[in-house]
Chains A and B, each alone.
Chain A
Amino acid sequence: MRGRVTRFAARDAGPAARVVGFMAHLRENGFRLGIGETELALAALAAAGVGEAAVRRALKAVACGCAEDWARFDAVFDAYWRNGGRVRSRAVPAGTPPAARSAMLGEGASGSGAAPEPGTEAVGGGDGEGDGEGRLIATAVRNLRRKDLREVVPPEDIRQAEAVARALGQALRDRRSRRRKAARRGAALDLRRTIRASVGTGGEPLRLMRRRRPERPVKIALLVDVSGSMLPYARAFLAFMAGLMRRDGAADAYLFHTRLVRVTEALREEDPLRMLNRITLLADGFGGGSRIGEALAQFAATHARRFVDGRTVVMILSDGYDSGSSDALAGAMARLARRGCRIVWLNPLKGWRDYAPVAAGMAAALPYLDLFAPAGTLDDLAGLEKELERL
């Protein structure tokens, strides 16, 4: 819905300043733009010609960087130039996708000091981890949440989990690249360097240089079930998740219950308390029912297409109790497996004496798993190192 053209205040400094304002507006809405893009935008406008359509298209080509940006751009453009009302970082609209939401929260916290920071509301939990000068602000957002992750995961757990995550990460890191690199020992000759060296010995290749295939790290995509039935294990799993993300720059993390949320960005937060806050905001509905099939199907159709490839291990932490249909789960697993990744399912219930994968969902997923193992605590996870090495 387009309104009238926005009327800027008279003290506004002209078109260039408005474009700068627009770029700031885009940043607030989760676009990743630097100063370079602002310059580029001005140059593009000079080259684009006049008229709203031309301006819109020119800015679109400059500001967008991926398909999501491309789809969102027009709405954001209208909001700024067509009086659609600017979206403030503190009032999170219900329709905003989770990724944008996390980005906005990040902006709000590091931006102007006047804006209430959602990140500070938690300080004062009594464990002395906070920065000591927390302000008590806006609780409206918080009251909506039924469960608070901060009560579930204490920051010291995360530190312990980091060690476990590091060990597991190393166990997985044994796949080799296809690219060969110069090395002292290796299977293939490096002709280029051999010839170069032979020039000094009159053309006789006395010293043979070699190339080998270096080790390549495996990426981990972690999907954690945070539905009601998983609550007893949430502490260990979330800590593991946080630990893994802090160790491994390439890992990817998701939470799911009735829907799926990507929490990678939030988990990269430096301060553990702030991080938990952001996740709590993202994981709205934490502790509710679970629709594993739907969540995984959503993962396979969206994020997996971008982040999961043959060098990825998808790790699912869930008990397999699915309130959706098991066909949906089987379909999603098949689709995921087709991306060439390895799939590990860690199930806290598997450790129980009488447990067999009777949950229909679990049974449907079994054929697609590379590893199905029990894990309910951090110690269990640490014990998986050997098995993961064998993958």
Chain B
Amino acid sequence: MASASTVQDGLAGQGYVASADLAMALHLSLALGRPLLLEGAAGVGKTEVARALAAWKRCELIRLQCYEGLDAAQAIYEWNYQRQLLAIRALAEAGETGSAVEARLFSEAYLLERPLLRAIRQPVAPVLLIDEIDRADEEFEAYLLEVLADFQITIPEMGTLRAVTRPMVILTANGTRDLSDALRRRCLYAHVDYPDRATELAILQARCSQVAADLGAQIVGFVQDLRKEALEKKPGVAEMLDFAAALAGLGVADLTEDAGVLQAALATLLKTQADRAAISTEVAQRLAGRAA
């Protein structure tokens, strides 16, 4: 029988290092068929989980990026109006009228599938990633609850479409807005934190094998210390990987060797003016010295 460690190993095979808590939550989500809500700061690898899961399960990843004002027409389905209009003209000239036209206009051929509808109509269960659900508004959450509750979508003109397969659903949020209790209760939950030193080093080795081991340890130590500084936007895992790639590309072998290069490479880690100002050359050198 599958267990949490199977999930952990499977994801590791795709270059994703999952914590034990996260692996258990994913395993339960797969075993019980419940959606999984992932929360955590930006850049800790929430979206990446879904990508790794899809790659491991060898299935499609269907992604729905949420934003304010997202509605059913963009998330579930929409009719192809242009085609419908053309068809109405053509059919009228051909002499067809009434209910025959209607039946034809509201058929599969004129239906535009959006991510949610597409996800429940796949022959092989896909991974459905609903990214940044807290950016969508409350009304959309209500639509979503309905779809997640019984995996069926009702289109008034066509009837109810039931799920062919149950997608594995992963929702991510990073606290733009408080989610409704109803949604939280439908989902299993895992909080993803910044990885600890050992985990982050494992991630770096899995994703950027061209970085030498001792430079890798320095990079991870440096980024871990940097996160402890009072920054507006702490660098995430993706930023750390960019930083490592930048240093490797610049041919740096030791963080302390060239203050100018290090300062330039910080562009991959610090993304606001205030943060750049806070980490001056002296601060960066002190952190690099500690990491070395």
Contact = CB atoms under 8 A, between A and B. Distances in A.
A43 B32 contact: yes
B219 to A, nearest CB: 28
Interface string B165-177: 0000000000111
A65 interface: yes
Contacts of B29: 61
Given A179-B137, A192-B79, A57 B25 contact: yes
Nearest to B69: A178
B84 A61 contact: no
B202 to A, nearest CB: 19
B185 A67 contact: no
Nearest to A192: B79
Contact of B191 (A32, A67, A179): A67
B71 interface: yes
B4 A48 contact: yes
B175 A305 contact: yes
B24 interface: yes
A24 interface: no
B88 A48 contact: no
Contacts of A199: 88, 101-102, 105
Q: Chain B interface mostly helix, strand, loop or mixed?
A: helix
B68 A61 contact: no
B68 A178 contact: yes
Interface stretch (A33-41, A93-101, A147-155, A234-242): A33-41
Contacts of B24: 48, 54, 57-58, 60-61
Interface in A51-72: 53-54, 57-58, 60-62, 64-67, 69-71
Interface string A222-235: 00000000000000
A309 interface: yes
A32 B139 CA distance: 22
A95 B157 CA distance: 58
Contacts of B81: 191-192, 195
B121 to A, nearest CB: 20
A325 interface: no
Contacts of A192: 73, 78-79, 81
Interface residues of A, number: 40
A297 to B, nearest CB: 12
A49 B189 contact: no
Contacts of A198: 88
A6 interface: no
B79 A65 contact: no
B88 A70 contact: no
Interface string B73-99: 100001101001100110110000100
A306 B28 contact: no
A47 B31 contact: yes
B234 interface: no
Interface in B1-35: 1, 3-4, 20-21, 24-25, 27-29, 31-32, 34
Given A179-B69, A199-B105, A306-B178, A54 B4 contact: yes
B110 to A, nearest CB: 10
B50 to A, nearest CB: 16
Contacts of B85: 195, 203
B184 interface: yes
Interface of A: 32, 34, 36-37, 40, 43-44, 47-49, 53-54, 57-58, 60-62, 64-67, 69-71, 177-180, 191-192, 195-196, 198-199, 202-203, 305-307, 309
Given A47-B28, A57-B4, 14 more contacts: A32-B185, A44-B31, A47-B31, A48-B3, A53-B20, A57-B20, A58-B28, A60-B25, A61-B25, A179-B71, A192-B78, A199-B101, A202-B92, A309-B176
